[in-house]
């Protein structure tokens, strides 16, 4: 190459930069992002392994005679399956899905399976994305996944509305894996924006579990919908970290040096401030749950730990060079490790012998902690000049139902320290509201 271009010096510089990048990547491990996050509790993490089993059930053609059931089964009653859609019925617009009426947990669940490697339509959905192509609620979203979510919403809104009206105390849950995770995340956002089509269901009765999701929303949307959407990633999973534009990823797979070259240049030359202020850059949505099952540079597994946060910067920004970064994306392994983690959490709580009253108090304090963490993430997003970062409502998923707060959930509420700068009150007006002037001209406080 040097004999052709005559620039051996630039080649040396490029090799040094690539060597530095490879060295940093070899030392970078998956625990770096979440090492300062809080530890998840059994109460908040309990639905995750159950949703993984439900998603696995979508792969079955007959739930009464399952073929791929995990140990212990799916935990589903086939009589409670409301409907099931196959590739033929969806016409390739979205992966197969089903609606399940979970009467044991008072929940209406819509489940979308992950990418099928043998279906061209799934690739077309995943690769239908260009930066800045699709705007949504003041941010940017993945174009193909938004179209898939819109198709599901248009097709099933009437059925969901009937179920919600028939069961007014049930929650509405969306869950999916991989390609389906991105679709359900955007579907939950569509439902929030169009709750009138579902009988004005309260915001805090809606939740979403995106298992190993693709990066599908801009940073401001990822933080603002953290009260509804929960993303789950197993240690080194590659998809929530894939920053390369997905429409170019397939082309790069045929030229691995080209892919490494582009990732090297992007990671080396792109500043963190520029990443955060790019409104078109996509991220994993909502609150993040990171399951840690391996220590850095160690063989074998450890008792799983689950860390959770609503991060703004350091939000699964870099790929991890690991032999597990493909296997950690598998829904089977995620279900297994999440169940191990939940069993360990519950065993720890049993050993501590927490009384029922204190357990209820802990759930209330957990809701308060999540709310404070959510507001702090919004404030940090504003402090970092993330475009269109504002708080849309009070924290929804863990709060009690509040009709007054729900009516204003769709309005854009500014952060307190931001609004104080915009609403400056004149001193004379303030004095006039607080004091009266008597006949002698003296000011006295109003009663």
DSSP E strand stretches across 43-114: 81-85, 97-102, 107-112
> Of 136, 128, 131, which is closest to residue 153 (Cα–Cα)?
136
Consecutive H or E run containing 135: strand 135-136
The answer, yes or no, to whether residue 288 has pLDDT greater than 90, is yes
> For position 258, what pLDDT does the model report?
59
Share of the chain above pLDDT 90, in %: 47
pLDDT category of residue 126 using cuts at 50, 70 and 90: confident
| Distance set, CA 100 to CA 159, 196, 201, 204 (Å) | 11, 22, 18, 20
Q: In this structure, what are the phi and psi dihedrals at residue 287, rounded to the nearest 5 degrees?
A: -70, 140
Rounded Cα distance, 340 and 444, in Å? 68
Helix (H, G, I), strand (E, B) or coil at 86: coil
Q: What is the pLDDT of residues 326-336, one digit of tens each?
A: 899 999 999 99
Residue predicted with more confidence, 26 or 53: 53
**Could you tell me which residues come within 8 angstroms of residue 307 by beta carbon, excluding any fewer than 6 positions away?**
34, 35, 37, 38, 39, 40, 289, 290, 292
DSSP E strand stretches across 246-367: 282-283, 287-292, 305-309
Rounded Cα distance, 351 and 369, in Å? 24
> For position 276, what pLDDT does the model report?
74
Q: Per mean pLDDT, which range of 76-80, 132-136, 149-153, 411-415 is the poorest?
A: 411-415
Q: Per mean pLDDT, which range of 6-15, 105-114, 137-146, 424-433 is the poorest?
A: 424-433
Q: What is the pLDDT of residues 222-262, one digit of tens each?
A: 999 999 999 999 998 989 988 755 545 555 445 555 555 55
Rounded to an integer, the average pLDDT of 299-307 is: 86
Residues 367/171, Cβ–Cβ less than 8 Å: no
Q: What is the pLDDT of residues 265-281, one digit of tens each?
A: 565 565 566 677 788 88
């Amino acid at each position: 190459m040097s004999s052709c271009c005559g620039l051996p010096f630039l080649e040396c510089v490029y090799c040094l930069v690539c060597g530095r990048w490879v060295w940093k990547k070899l030392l970078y491990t998956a625990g770096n992002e979440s090492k300062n996050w809080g530890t998840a509790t059994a109460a908040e993490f309990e639905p995750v392994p159950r949703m993984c089993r439900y998603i696995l059930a979508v792969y079955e053609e007959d739930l009464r005679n399952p073929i791929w059931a995990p140990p212990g089964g799916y935990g589903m009653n086939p009589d409670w399956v409301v409907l099931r859609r196959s590739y033929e019925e969806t016409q390739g617009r979205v992966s197969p899905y089903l609606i399940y009426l979970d009467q044991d947990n008072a929940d209406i669940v819509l489940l979308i399976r992950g990418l099928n490697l043998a279906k061209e339509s799934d690739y077309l959905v995943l690769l239908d994305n260009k930066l800045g192509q699709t705007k949504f609620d003041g941010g940017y979203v993945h174009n193909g996944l938004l179209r898939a979510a819109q198709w599901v919403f248009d097709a099933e809104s009437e059925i969901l509305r009937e179920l919600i009206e028939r069961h007014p105390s049930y929650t509405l849950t969306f869950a999916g894996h991989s390609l389906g995770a991105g679709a359900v995340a955007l579907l939950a956002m569509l439902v929030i924006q169009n709750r009138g089509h579902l009988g004005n269901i309260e915001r805090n009765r809606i939740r979403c579990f995106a298992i190993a999701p693709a990066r599908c929303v801009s940073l401001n949307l990822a933080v603002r919908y953290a009260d509804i959407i929960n993303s789950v990633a197993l240690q080194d999973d590659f998809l929530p970290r894939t920053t390369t534009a997905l429409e170019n990823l397939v082309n790069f797979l045929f030229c691995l040096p080209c892919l490494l070259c582009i990732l090297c240049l992007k990671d080396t030359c792109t500043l963190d401030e520029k990443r955060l202020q790019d409104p078109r850059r996509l991220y994993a949505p909502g609150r993040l749950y990171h399951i840690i099952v391996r220590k850095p540079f160690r063989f074998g597994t450890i008792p799983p730990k689950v860390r959770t946060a609503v991060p703004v910067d350091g939000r699964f920004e870099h790929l991890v060079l690991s032999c597990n970064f493909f296997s950690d994306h598998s829904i089977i392994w995620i279900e297994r490790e999440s169940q191990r983690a939940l069993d360990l959490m519950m065993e720890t709580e049993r050993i501590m012998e927490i009384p029922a009253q204190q357990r209820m108090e802990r759930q209330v304090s957990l809701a308060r902690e999540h709310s404070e963490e959510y507001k702090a993430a919004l404030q940090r997003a504003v402090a970092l000049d993330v475009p269109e970062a504002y708080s849309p409502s009070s924290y929804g998923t863990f709060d009690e139902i509040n009709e007054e707060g729900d009516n204003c959930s769709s309005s854009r509420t500014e952060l307190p320290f931001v609004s104080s700068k915009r609403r400056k009150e004149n001193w004379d007006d303030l004095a006039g509201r607080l004091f009266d002037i008597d006949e002698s001209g003296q000011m006295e406080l109003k009663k």
